[in-house]
Structures are given as C-alpha cells and as structure tokens.
Amino acid sequence: MKLTKKLLKEYRGKAIEAGACSRAIEVIDLVLAGKMTLKQFKGLEEFPMWCLWYAKRVIRGPWPEAEDIIRTDPWFAYNYARNALKLNSEDDGAWVGTEPTSTTSASTTK
C-alpha cells in the first residue's frame, strides 16, 4: 500500500465524516504532525482493522490498495471478503459484480 501524508490527510477527513474512532484520528494526527512515521503507523497492530473499517464504512466496497494489509489477519481477511467485497451467498458464492457461473456443464451445451 502506497500511503503518503497527502493521502492520509484525505483519508482522515473521510474517516471523520464516517464516524471513525478517536484513537484512529489521534494516531493519524501524530503522523501528520511528524511525531510518528508512516512506517510506524502502518506497523501498528490496529492498522489492518482500520483498513478494513475504511473499506467497509468509507469506500463501501473493495479497497485493492489495502488488501495486502487486511489479509495479514485471517479474521480481517474473511470479514473483508464477506462484507467489503459483498460475497454473494444467495447465488453461487461469486462476488457481486462478477459474471455468474453456468449451472450447465460444458458437455451438455450445444
């Protein structure tokens, strides 16, 4: 994930609008003030959880740039796939927006 202070400032505003926790905003403010590096920020235990929250609550969908971070934890990865990617459990398990799979086998099609 390529994260810059400029992007972080943008993400901060959107996160506040979506009701982000005060801890996340405080930490972002530390980075923006130069009291914490971006590397330290990305190394925080909460970082994958915050990325998942941002994908679900702000983007309201997939956030490919953060997927490497989110999948560092099995629970966050599952939650991301189930919610942010909107796993379509009503049909064949395909993600919403993907082509449906055929229920007819290749051998029976003409």
- The answer to which of 1-5, 31-35, 66-70 has the lowest mean pLDDT is 1-5
Query: What is the C-alpha separation between 6 and 25, in angstroms, rounded?
Result: 15
- Banded pLDDT at 41 (limits 50, 70, 90): very high
Amino acid, single-letter form, for residue 22: S
Per-residue confidence (pLDDT) for residue 99, from 0 to 100 = 39
Q: End-to-end alpha-carbon separation of the chain, Å? A: 46
Average pLDDT, the chain: 81
3-state secondary structure of 87: strand
Asked whether residue 98 carries a pLDDT value surpassing 70, the answer given is: no
**pTM of structure:** 0.72
pLDDT tens, 56-87? 899 888 989 999 999 999 999 999 988 877 75
Specify which residues 69 forms β-bridges with.
Answer: none
pLDDT at position 74 = 93
- The maximal CA–CA distance of the chain, rounded, in angstroms, is 66
Rounded to whole angstroms, how far apart are CA atoms 87 and 15?
Answer: 24
Confirm if 54 and 63 have CB atoms less than 8 A apart: yes
